[in-house]
Amino acid sequence: MAADTGQQHPISVYFWIWTLLFVFSAASYTVDYIGFQGYMRWTLIIIFMMLKAGFIVAIFMHMRWERVALITAILVPPGALLVLVALMAMESDYTWATRILYFGEDPAPVPLPPPSH
Amino acid sequence: MAEATGLRNLQVVDDWAADVEVFRGVPWGKAMMWIFLLSDTFIFTCFLTAYMTVRMTTSEPWPNPSEVFALEAFGVPVPLLLIAIMTFILITSSGTMAMAVNMGYRRRRGPAALLMVITALLGASFVGMQAFEWTKLIMDEGVRPWGNPMGAPQFGSTFFMITGFHGLHVSAGVVYLAVVAWRVWRGRYEKQGYDIVEITGLYWHFVDLVWVFIFAFFYLW
């Protein structure tokens, strides 16, 4: 019989994380239900999202008990994605401005001055 | 013997530099599943980044997801009701999956298989609710991939693309879970050990993980 090399942890750990995931989901739903807007909303959503994602990867997917070689191989490459997100966000700014300039409807049209020639 | 100083002390440097298998003590199936999930991470992030880009660049108002996905309960519209239920179902299924992995390593294959079947059933109910959500959106709200009555046409294309691809992952996961649960139940892994349950679990938790990001960025943002 082959020896199991796998992850074995007390079940109570899973129950704790399970409860936490419920709490964080309820919290992020409450953010929408109460109707927070602007930076308050975005900050809270991101915090609860990162907490949930972190606990799923660290505990449910056992990442915190893996060897550093595996952790780095899996968690470092997505850093490139953050660069992509940053680049696209920067590009979006002027794409939007260009669209408003050429396709947008002016909410308060100012009449052109009479020709001066 | 080389002096054990500085970087040489680091296990990770040793693992990568030793000219033997890098992921020591990790079953190859698990390493490969992680690498597959890494590639899937790139796909989903590219979709979500595309969504971010079209949402930031559209000059038309973005439909308010809180209202679009509201459901009426007891005569009152409750925002994101179905989405909240779907979220809790997926988290619950992640919990039963974690239990299944635990039971597998304890070599209690009956409970392990049963918990996997429960996980698969929860996943199937998630897909069912998603089908209901899509039907309501298409038939009642008139959302199409190329336009909708509420505002920016990109809303439909990104919504169907992202949730569709996620739903496909859940559906594939249900089949995957059912197959592995059947084999666990039959005792196929008694000799080789129950790493397979953990590997299946990795895939399932990943599906839940992706939903965390979709929930935050598409439904709540």
Total-model pTM: 0.89
Give residue A106's pLDDT band: very low, low, confident or very high (50, 70, 90): low
Arithmetic mean of pLDDT, B109-138: 96
Q: Where are the alpha helices (DSSP H) in A35-114?
A: 38-55, 68-75, 79-102
**Residue from the list A7, A56, A92 with its beta carbon closest to the beta carbon of B56:** A92
Distance CA B152, CA B161 (A): 15
Q: Is residue B68 part of a domain?
A: yes
Residue B210 inside a domain? The answer is yes
For residue B136, the model assigns a pLDDT of 93
- Kindly give, in sequence order, each residue whose CB lies less than 8 Å from that of residue B147, ignoring residues fewer than 6 positions away: B153, B156
For residue A107, pLDDT beyond 70: no
Pick the residue with more confidence: A108 or B76?
B76
| B155 band by pLDDT with thresholds 50, 70 and 90 | very high
B190-219: average pLDDT: 95
| Average pLDDT of span B98-113 | 93
Q: Where are the domains of chain A?
A: 8-65, 67-103
pLDDT score of A32: 87
Residues of the domain holding B111: 6-220
Are the beta carbons of B198 and A103 separated by less than 8 Å?
no
pLDDT at A5 over 60: no
Nearest Cβ partner for B49 among A22, A33, A88: A88
Whether residue B1 is contained in a domain is answered as: no
Query: What tens digit of pLDDT does each residue of A51-82 get?
Result: 999 999 999 999 999 989 999 999 999 999 99
Please state, for a pLDDT cut of 90, what percent of chain B lies above it.
74
Judge whether B142 lies within some domain: yes
Residue B106 tokens read as 């304890």
pLDDT of residue A48: 94
Nearest in space to B111 (alpha carbons), one of B96, B123, B124: B96
Interface probe with B: pick from A43, A61, A88, most Cβ of B within 10 Å: A61
Contacts of B145 (CB under 8 A, 6+ apart): B156, B157, B160, B161
A111: distance to nearest CA of chain B, Å?
A: 23
Select from B92, B190, B209 the Cβ nearest to the Cβ of A57: B209
Q: Give me the CATH number covering residue B126.
A: 1.20.120.80
pLDDT score at A88: 95
Q: Where are the alpha helices (DSSP H) in chain B?
A: 11-17, 28-57, 65-68, 81-105, 109-139, 154-186, 195-214
- Answer whether residue B81 is part of any domain: yes
Domain count along chain B: 1
DSSP conformation class of B71: E
Do the beta carbons of residue B199 and residue B33 sit within 8 Å? yes
Q: A6-20, B69-83, B145-159: which has the highest mean pLDDT?
A: B145-159
pLDDT value of position B156: 94
ipTM, 2 dp = 0.89
Residue A2: predicted pLDDT: 43
CA–CA gap between residue B96 and residue B29 (Å, rounded): 22
- Chain B CB contacts of A36 under 8 Å are none
Q: Are A8 and B105 in contact (CB under 8 A)?
A: yes
